[in-house]
Amino acid sequence: MTTRAAAPQRLLFLGTPEMAVPCLDALIAAGFQVVGVVTRVDKRRGRGTVETPSAVKVAALRLGLPVVHSVDEGLALGADLRADLRADLGVVVAFGQLVKPLALARLPMVNLHFSLLPRWRGAAPVERALLAGDTETGVCLMQLDEGLDTGPVFAHARVPIGALTTGDSLRRELVEVGKKLLVDELSAGLREPQPQAGEPSYAAKLSSEDLQINWSLPADRIDRVIRLGGAWTKLRGRRLKVLAAELIDPVAIGHSVRGDAVGGLRLLTVQPEGKAPMPFAAFANGARLLDDEEVGQ
- For 214-240, the DSSP string reads -TTS-HHHHHHHHHHS--EEEETTEEE
Q: Return the number of other C-beta atoms located less than 10 Å from residue 262's C-beta.
A: 28
Q: Return the number of other C-beta atoms located less than 10 Å from residue 181's C-beta.
A: 20
Q: Return the number of other C-beta atoms located less than 10 Å from residue 190's C-beta.
A: 19
Domain formed by 208-287, architecture: Roll (3.10)
Predicted model pTM? 0.93
Average pLDDT over residues 241-245: 98
User: Using one digit for the tens of pLDDT, what is the confidence trace for 264-291?
Assistant: 999 999 999 999 999 999 999 999 998 8
How far is residue 294 from each of residues 192, 248, 269, 291, measured CA to CA in Å? 57, 18, 18, 9
Say if residues 116 and 136 touch (Cβ distance below 8 Å). yes
- Choosing among 3.40.50.20, 2.60.120.260, 3.40.50.170, 1.10.10.60, the CATH entry for 10-203 is 3.40.50.170
User: Using one digit for the tens of pLDDT, what is the confidence trace for 146-176?
Assistant: 999 999 999 999 999 999 999 999 999 999 9
CA 228 to chain centre: 11
- Of residues 85 and 282, more confidently modeled: 282
* Domains of the chain by residue range: 10-203, 208-287
Residue type, 38: V
Q: How is residue 133 annotated by DSSP?
A: T
pLDDT at 49 over 80: no
pLDDT at 1: 52
